[in-house]
Amino acid sequence: MTEQERILQLRNELHEHNYNYYILNAPVITDQEFDSLMRELQDLEAKHPEMADPNSPTMRVGSDLNKDFQQVYHKYPMLSLANTYSEAEVTDFYERVRKGLEGEDFEICCEMKYDGTSISLLYENGRLVQAVTRGDGEKGDDVTDNVKTIHSIPLILKGEGYPQSFEMRGEILMPWEVFDSLNRERELREEPLFANPRNAASGTLKSQNSAVVASRKLDAYLYYMLGENLPSDGHFENLQMAERWGFKISHVARKCHTLEEIFSFIKYWDTERKNLPVATDGIVLKVNSLRQQRNLGYTAKSPRWAIAYKFQAERAITRLDSVSFQVGRTGAITPVANLEPVQLSGTVVRRASLHNADIIANLDLHIGDMVYVEKGGEIIPKITGVDIASRQSDSTKVQFITTCPECGTPLIRYEGEAAYYCPNDIACPPQIKGRIEHFISRRAMNIDSLGPETVDQFYQHGLIRDIADLYELQADAICRMERMGKKSADNIIKGIEDSRNVPFERVLFALGIRFVGETVAKKLARVFKNIEELSHATLDTLIHVDEIGEKIARSVILYFSNENNRLLIERLKRAGVQMSLSEQTLQGQTEKLKGMSIVISGVFIHHSRDEYKALIEQHGGKNVGSISSKTSFILAGDNMGPSKLEKVKKLGIKIVNEDDFLKLIE
């Protein structure tokens, strides 16, 4: 057998093993054997670039190339379903269908409503060619590379009888088990937690790095086939066929012939769904015959042939003991309800978020009230109602505080914002500690030898009062703290020392200027080049910077108009923290691409996409995601998608290849 033949053989085998494992749950080889076949294939493919195939099983591993998602129009718009929580409305739906079909017999397919993020998969000649998110229903993001890492989505179909071109729609989900362990890891790394598996799945799917997607173990259920020449007139029957082609479809769907059958399906799954491995939030009812679906048609927003019955979120009733107020890094006050502990969906709930003053006022909360708490897939439960009838006549109304619970300063409210703030940013302890914690965090100065507990300890003992104090810390002073040995002290000092090399753009982010996130910080660093220039920038110059609006501009000006901040920056500068772009970055900067919007597309040889993006920005250009009449040119590598090529031609946009681009910026 030639190596080329072996490649083809390995691909077939690996597709089959993947199907056995992820769809049938019945692997026939061990994980090690699977890995070793995969490695063999990877090695052979590396040796034979002429055999490259975008649907090879090796594509499931993902890559860390950066992607700007291209926007793609859906062939058929992705509509949503009419929702209801009421059984009476299910009956109404059933009657409407009956009337609409003028007495014809019909079947209703009942299936789970999966609570993830929807996806449209396009198959041509049995191969996955494109995966697009719902987006605004008309157009979505092309997330094909990320979707290829999801093992339950077939890259190449099995069997026969599938249409030459068709679309499968379904839901991408993060199984509960994966969700729980992901959040456990994030907690350890002090990263923000995902509120529910739906957010985790959609966040993951939009990741710029498909290797991250591959590591997150997403799953997918397909529930809707679209196209011409489908195998059957029955929706249910088409899904059965899809299963033979290798798709994962739900096994709990049933065809019902009466309302009674429908209600017993609903009742059964309302409790039984808790045993499913993924999140569901209702039942979808669909008229089974496609011909009848066409006859019933669509309203402006949703099909007349389907409805979603949503389950009531689980609810418990308990007493509100008190409300406490927490102060965040920016001074924002968050009210939290302290509750009599109560069981809800398998956990004991003691606290609930109240979000802001308006919510408290709308609920008209009184201390001692019996309140309804709901979880609805979120980690932090919320209060959704009050049992007014059981309220004691002498109970006191919950008043939002008027002064900061930590430092006593009168609170203020910014125009157009729901939150109250403590304006005492210089002396309010949680704000000071919060700023230091932000400064040392991974994406900022990345001083991982320090954590929130140490920051708290150092603050309590007066070792640090602001971020500049970090650079004046002495190892022997640290050693005198409880539970601090010489080794940890040295480690801390070294971490701080190393942070002096963190580049200016991250320092700028680390300062914690309101509304200056990572991207804005990068932008500002590149345009103003050093803190001096930035601190003297006027409102006018700031808002003329691309992507900087008035809100950000005003916040930057406010920051630098504060004497304390200027002193702080002076001290950081003296401590050796980077306050300007490095010589290296500066030298490479030109304005050769000034004012240009450039789209990157295809696969490159000399540099990664990330590197090209950096080069564009370094030379004053702007890298944009989608092609429009404003695009200056396309930086095109190999394998640029056909739909994109067509658009480029239509708009008459110039295509620049890698070599010409490098010459251009030389």
Cβ(178)–Cβ(281) under 8 Å? no
Tokens linked to 582:
């490095």
Q: Which is nearer to ligand IVH, 168 or 383 (CB)?
A: 168
> What SS3 class is residue 425?
coil
Question: Would residue 113 show up in a list of annotated catalytic residues for this protein?
Answer: yes
The residue written with tokens 């006022």 in the block is 361
Q: Which is nearer to ligand IVH, 7 or 81 (CB)?
A: 81
- Beta partners for residue 303, in sequence order: 298
The DSSP annotation for 306-323 comes to EEEEEPPPPEEEEEEEEE
- Please report how close the Cβ of residue 562 comes to ligand IVH at its closest, in angstroms: 47
Q: Which is nearer to ligand IVH, 80 or 561 (CB)?
A: 80
Nearest to ligand IVH by Cβ — which residue?
118
In a 13 Å sphere around the CA of 507, the CA atoms on its Cβ side amount to 27
Q: Which is nearer to ligand IVH, 293 or 318 (CB)?
A: 293
Cβ(367)–Cβ(312) under 8 Å? no
Q: Which is nearer to ligand IVH, 178 or 296 (CB)?
A: 296
> Angle at Cα 484 formed by Cα 479 and Cα 488, nearest 5°?
90
Cβ(638)–Cβ(603) under 8 Å? yes
- Please report how close the Cβ of residue 293 comes to ligand IVH at its closest, in angstroms: 9
- Please report how close the Cβ of residue 138 comes to ligand IVH at its closest, in angstroms: 14
Instruction: Work out whether strand 315-327 and strand 370-374 pair parallel, antiparallel, or are unpaired.
Output: antiparallel
Cβ(276)–Cβ(298) under 8 Å? no
- Please report how close the Cβ of residue 309 comes to ligand IVH at its closest, in angstroms: 11
| φ and ψ at residue 221, rounded to 5 degrees | -115, 135
DSSP H helices in 326-474 = 357-363, 429-440, 452-460
| φ and ψ at residue 657, rounded to 5 degrees | -85, 170
Q: Which positions ≥6 away from 539 have C-beta within 8 Å? A: 550, 553, 554, 557
Of the listed 67, 113, 375, 647, which one is catalytic?
113
- Please report how close the Cβ of residue 118 comes to ligand IVH at its closest, in angstroms: 3
- Please report how close the Cβ of residue 196 comes to ligand IVH at its closest, in angstroms: 15
Instruction: Please report, as ranges, the residues that interact with ligand IVH according to CB under 6 A.
Output: 79-81, 111, 113-114, 118, 134, 171, 223-224, 284, 303, 306, 308
- Please report how close the Cβ of residue 243 comes to ligand IVH at its closest, in angstroms: 15
| φ and ψ at residue 567, rounded to 5 degrees | -65, -40
Q: Which is nearer to ligand IVH, 76 or 414 (CB)?
A: 76
Q: Is 345 exposed, middle or buried (0-12, 13-18, 19+ CB in 10 A)?
A: middle
Q: Which is nearer to ligand IVH, 235 or 506 (CB)?
A: 235
Enumerate the active-site residues.
113
